[in-house]
Structure 1
Amino acid sequence: MTTKLEAALAHADAHINDSLERLKTLVSIKSISTDPAYAGEVRKAAEWLVADLKTLGFDASVRPTTGHPMVVAHDGDAGPHVLFYAHYDVQPVDPLNLWHTDPFIATPITGDDGEVRIHGRGTSDDKGQLLTFVEACRAWKAVNGPLPLKVTLFFEGEEESGSPSLRPFLAEAKAELGAAEIALVCDTDLWNRDTPSIVTSLRGLVGEEVEITCASHDLHSGMFGNAARNPIQVLAEIIASLRNPDGSVAVEGFYDDVAELPADIAALWKRLPYDEAAFMAGAGLTTPAGEKGRSVLEQTRSRPTCEINGITGGYTGDGFKTVIPAKASAKISFRLVSGMDPVKIRAAFRKHVTDRLPPDATVTFKEHGGSPAVSVPTDGIHLKQAAAALKDEWGNEAALIGSGGSIPVAGEFKKILGLDTLLIGFALDDDRIHSPNEKYDLRSYHKGIRSWLRIIAALAA
C-alpha cells in the first residue's frame, strides 16, 4: 500500500496543472442555485461532473429532483465503503463591481508572499474542495488501477439555496447511499495555514422572524406620541431582554441541555495555536462580547448563541419622517450545541416574547428552519485513521475542533442514513466565501488532493 500511495502522490504532484485546468472549467459554469435564471447552468455543472467521472471509470449519473439535480457515482468493489459529499452550486456574485477579476474565470494571482491564490466564485466553496477528492481518485486510478475501497460520490446542487430536495432524495436513495460505513464531507477549513482539522461537532440552528403590531396603521408622532404604543420600542425591549448582564442568553430553559466541553477536547483546544486578539482584529473589533468567563474559542465553537440578524420598522429611507409605525420586525437566530432540541428552543423563545407583550401589542412568528447540532465520536477508528493520514501530509497533528457554523447535511446523514460524518476541509478563513473576490490557495488545492490520497490509503488499510 505504501508504494501505491507514493506513486499516486507523485502523479498528483506531476499533474497539478491539469487538475487546475479542470477546476477552471468547473468554475466557469455559473451554477447559481438560488436564481432560477441559472437553472440551466446548474444542470450543466452536474452534467460536466458526470462526464468527467465517467472518464475515470465511475458509474455516474445525474439524478433529477423537484429542484436542481444531484450527482451520484460509484466505483470500487473491495474494502471499506465511504460516501463522499460536496456541493457544486455557488452563491450569487453580487455586487459585481467589487470583484477584482471575472468571478467565473478562475484566475491564479501570485501574492506578495509568493503564494498563488485562485480567485473566482466557488473556488473555495465548494468546487475546489469537491475536486480535491475527485483528483485524488484520478491520481490513484492513473497509476494503481482500481481504488482500494468502495467509493460513492454524492454531489448536491442546492446547498447554497437551502437544500430543499436533500431530505426527500436521501430518503428515496437510503438503500444506495446508506450502504457506506462513513460519510466524508469537504466543506470546512484548515485550523490554520499549516494545521489540518477534523470538525467533530457542528452547531444546529433555529431561525425566527418576529413581527410586532400595535396600531392599525402608521401614526403621526406629534399627534399620537406618548399615547400610542410604539412597536419598535416594544421590539427593542424584548430584544434587550434576551441577554443577561453576564452575556448569557436569558431565555428560560435555554441551557437545560447544554453540557460542558469534554475534558479531553478542552485540553486539546488549549494546545492549539490561537490568537484571540488577532481573531477579533480580523473583524475590526477589540473586545469579546458574549458570555463572561468563556474564551472566544469556546464561544464560537462550543457554546449556543442568540443573535439578532436584522431589524426593521418605520421610515428608513432618505431624509426624515415623523411617524410611529404600526409594525416592527426582527430576524433572530440561535446556534445550538449537542443535546439542544430545536423545537424546544423555538417554543421557549416564542414564550419569552409573548410573555413580554404589553397591552395593544400582538406578535406573529415566521419559522426560518431548524436543525439539531451534530457531533462525531472522537474515538472512532475512521477518525483516528484520517487524523494520522493528515498528520503525515501536513507534519502537524490535526485539530479536532467544533465548528461555529451549521452544515445540515451531516445531521441528515445521521438521521436518515445512520452515518457518522468526518468533516475534513482545506479552506482558509480568509477565502471570502459568499463574498466578492472569493479565492482558494493553490497550496490548499494541491495539499487537499494529497491529503485525500493519504486518507484513502489509510481507510483502506
Structure 2
Amino acid sequence: MSAAVTAYLESNADRLLAELCELLRIPSISAQPEHQPDMLRAAKFLHDQFAAMGFQVETVQTAGHPIVYAEWLQAPGAPTVLVYGHYDVQPPDPLDLWTTPPFEPTIRDGKLFARGATDDKGQVFTHVKSAEAWLKTEGRLPVNLKFVIEGEEEVGSNNLDHFLESRKAALACDVAVVSDTSQYAPGIPAITYGLRGIVACEVALRGPKKDLHSGVFGGSVTNPVNALCRLVSALHDADGRVQIPGFYDDVAPLSDAERAGFAKLPFDEAAYRAELGVSAVHGEAGFTTLERRWARPTCDVNGITGGYQGAGPKTIVPSRASAKITCRLVPQQDPARILDALEHFLNENCLPGVELEFFRFHGCPAFVFDPTSPYLTAASEAIQEAFGAAPVLIREGGSIPVVTTFREVLGVDTLLLGWGQNTDNLHSPDEHFTVADFHRGTLASAALWERLAALPKTVG
C-alpha cells in the first residue's frame, strides 16, 4: 500500500483518536426523544468530516433521525464501494455499572471506554479516516466511495429502506462494506461471511374473562399458563430439534469444508461455559457448539409471562399468558413460511378452552457471502497487511437486516469486516474498543480501497 498513506495514519494516530472521542461525547441515543438535538449534532459532526475531505455530502432528513450520505466519485473505471454504518447508540443504562461515565471517553489499559466505542461509531469512523488518509496524501481515492451512515439502527432502521429504495440508482455500487461485527478473538482477525436470519413473534393465550379462584374453579377450565407451558415444551424434542413441521425442509446444510474450517478454529468449550456461567452446553444433537451458534436454525422463547408474580402465593387460575418467540434462520429458509408454520403448529397443539392470538414482528432471511469471491480475497489481503495475520472465515449467529436489504434492493453483497471483539461489551456497561484495533482497522480499511481497485468495475 502507499507508504504515504501508512505514514499519514501513523503520524496522525493521536488526532484521529481524539476526533473519535469528540463523536463519542455526543449522546446520540436514538431511542430517547430528549436526545433529538444530540442526534442532529452527531449527524452534523459526520457531515463536517466529509465536507472537510472534499466529499459531496448531504444530511438527509427522514421521518425520524437524519441519514448522512457522502460520495467521492472521481475514480473513473474503478469499482464503487458503499460503506454503511450508524451513529446512533444504545441507552447506557444501568449507569451505576459504568466505571467511568458513558459519554466521557476514557482510555484504560489500552482500551477506549465509551458508549458507541465499538458499536458502531468507532468502527465506521475507521473508514472515514482511511478515506481522509488517501485524499490528504495522494489527492485521490483508489476507488469510488459512497457512505450511508444512519441514526436509527438501534431502533429498527425504520426509514432506511425508503431511503435506499428512493435512491436506488444513485447508490449503485459493486460491493458494500459494513464494520459492525467482531474479530474471532484477540490476535485472530476475521471476515464474517454468513449471518443467520430471524423472525420474531408473540403468542398470547386468553382463558376466563378474569383470574379465578383455583380452589373453586381449578380443574374445570383450561389454565392459560399451563397451556402455554405445554406449547413451549412441544417446540423441541429431547435431542434439541425444533418440532415445527417443515422447519428443516429448506435448510442449506453445512459443507464438509465449512465444518472442517470451524473445527480448526481455536475454541475452548470449558472457557466458553465459564464465560457464560453455565455448567454445560446444550443444543441440537449432532452439531458442535460453533455450528449451533453460527449455522443451525433455532427456536427460542425470549420472554414468558402470566399469572401472579408477586411475593408469596396467590391461588388463582390466571386469565391469560403470553410468550415472545424468535427463530434464527439459516440460508434458504423463508421467514414468512417459518412464521406460517409456527402459527399453525401453535394452533394445532393448543388446548381447548383458551383463545390463541399470534402477533408477527420483524424478520429477515439469512445471508451468506461466497467464500471464493474476489472481494473477500481482497479484504483478506488488506486485513493481513494491517493486522499481521490472515483473517479466519466465520459465520455469526446474529442478524444484520441491512445486509439483506442491500442484496434485495441494490443487488450487491456485503463484506462484513469487524475490527472489535465480542468481549467489547456491546450494548452493556463499560463498552470499549481496543485502541490498537481502532488503528489497525483504519489501516486495513485504507489497504482495502487499494485492493478493491484492482478488481473489475461491474456497475455503470
TM-score, reference length from structure 1: 0.96
1:45 aligns with 2:37: no
**In the alignment, residue 167 of structure 2 is paired with which amino acid?**
A
Is 2:205–2:224's contact at 8 Å kept on the other side of the alignment?
yes
1:152 aligns with 2:162: no
Is 1:76–1:148's contact at 8 Å kept on the other side of the alignment?
no
Q: Quote the Cα distance in structure 1 between the aligned partners of 2:259 and 2:4.
A: 39
1:168-219 deviations in Å (ceiling 9; x for gaps)? 1110010111x21000001000011111111111111000111011111111
SS at match of 1:258: coil
1:452 aligns with 2:445: yes
Q: Which residue of 2 aligns with 1:90?
A: 89
**Alignment partner of 1:34 out of 9, 31, 36:** 31
1:402-426 deviations in Å (ceiling 9; x for gaps)? 1100000000000011111000011
Q: Quote the Cα distance in structure 1 between the aligned partners of 2:306 and 2:27.
A: 36
Is 1:386–1:458's contact at 8 Å kept on the other side of the alignment?
yes
SS at match of 1:282: helix
**Alignment partner of 1:425 out of 411, 418, 424:** 418
Q: Quote the Cα distance in structure 2 between the aligned partners of 1:240 and 1:266.
A: 30
Is 1:305–1:336's contact at 8 Å kept on the other side of the alignment?
yes
**In the alignment, residue 22 of structure 1 is paired with which amino acid?**
E
Cα drift, residue 252 of structure 1: 0.7
Q: Which residue of 2 aligns with 1:77?
A: 74
**1:93-132 aligned within 5 A:** 93-110=92-109, 116-132=110-126
**1:340-355 aligned within 5 A:** 340-355=333-348
**Alignment partner of 1:60 out of 50, 57, 60:** 57
Q: Which residue of 2 aligns with 1:7?
A: 4
Q: Which residue of 2 aligns with 1:249?
A: 242
Q: Quote the Cα distance in structure 1 between the aligned partners of 2:352 and 2:297.
A: 32
Is 1:432–1:439's contact at 8 Å kept on the other side of the alignment?
yes
Q: Which residue of 2 aligns with 1:362?
A: 355
Q: Quote the Cα distance in structure 2 between the aligned partners of 1:399 and 1:125.
A: 21
Which deviates more, 410-419 or 94-103? 94-103
Cα drift, residue 319 of structure 1: 3.5
Which deviates more, 168-177 or 256-265? 256-265
Cα drift, residue 76 of structure 1: 3.8
1:17 aligns with 2:14: yes
Cα drift, residue 400 of structure 1: 1.4
The CA RMSD measured in Å over matched residues stands at 1.1
Cα drift, residue 100 of structure 1: 1.2
1:415-461 deviations in Å (ceiling 9; x for gaps)? 01111100001110111111111111111111111111111111113
Q: Quote the Cα distance in structure 1 between the aligned partners of 2:305 and 2:10.
A: 53
Is 2:189–2:389's contact at 8 Å kept on the other side of the alignment?
yes
**In the alignment, residue 65 of structure 2 is paired with which amino acid?**
H
1:326 aligns with 2:325: no
Cα drift, residue 13 of structure 1: 1.5
Q: Quote the Cα distance in structure 1 between the aligned partners of 2:144 and 2:26.
A: 29
Q: Quote the Cα distance in structure 2 between the aligned partners of 1:452 and 1:130.
A: 10
Q: Which residue of 2 aligns with 1:113?
A: none
Q: Quote the Cα distance in structure 2 between the aligned partners of 1:76 and 1:415.
A: 24
1:269-292 deviations in Å (ceiling 9; x for gaps)? 222222222222211113111112
**In the alignment, residue 146 of structure 1 is paired with which amino acid?**
R
SS at match of 1:130: helix
1:18-70 deviations in Å (ceiling 9; x for gaps)? 01111111111111111122122112111110011111111111011111111
**In the alignment, residue 103 of structure 1 is paired with which amino acid?**
P
Q: Which runs of 5+ in 2 are unaligned?
A: 455-460
Q: Which residue of 1 aligns with 2:458?
A: none
Is 1:76–1:146's contact at 8 Å kept on the other side of the alignment?
no
Q: How many residues align?
A: 452
**In the alignment, residue 349 of structure 2 is paired with which amino acid?**
R
**Alignment partner of 1:166 out of 154, 160, 163:** 160
Q: Quote the Cα distance in structure 2 between the aligned partners of 1:48 and 1:318.
A: 50
Is 1:81–1:181's contact at 8 Å kept on the other side of the alignment?
yes
SS at match of 2:443: helix
Q: Quote the Cα distance in structure 2 between the aligned partners of 1:281 and 1:292.
A: 22
SS at match of 2:170: helix
Is 2:193–2:368's contact at 8 Å kept on the other side of the alignment?
yes
TM-score, reference length from structure 2: 0.96
Which deviates more, 417-426 or 10-19? 10-19
1:298 aligns with 2:286: no
Q: Quote the Cα distance in structure 2 between the aligned partners of 1:57 and 1:286.
A: 55
Q: Which residue of 2 aligns with 1:209?
A: 202
**In the alignment, residue 201 of structure 2 is paired with which amino acid?**
E
Which deviates more, 155-164 or 309-318? 309-318
**In the alignment, residue 92 of structure 2 is paired with which amino acid?**
V
**1:131-146 aligned within 5 A:** 131-146=125-140
Q: Quote the Cα distance in structure 2 between the aligned partners of 1:428 and 1:180.
A: 29
Q: Which runs of 5+ in 1 are unaligned?
A: 111-115
Is 2:386–2:441's contact at 8 Å kept on the other side of the alignment?
no
Q: Which residue of 1 aligns with 2:259?
A: 266
Q: Quote the Cα distance in structure 1 between the aligned partners of 2:133 and 2:273.
A: 40
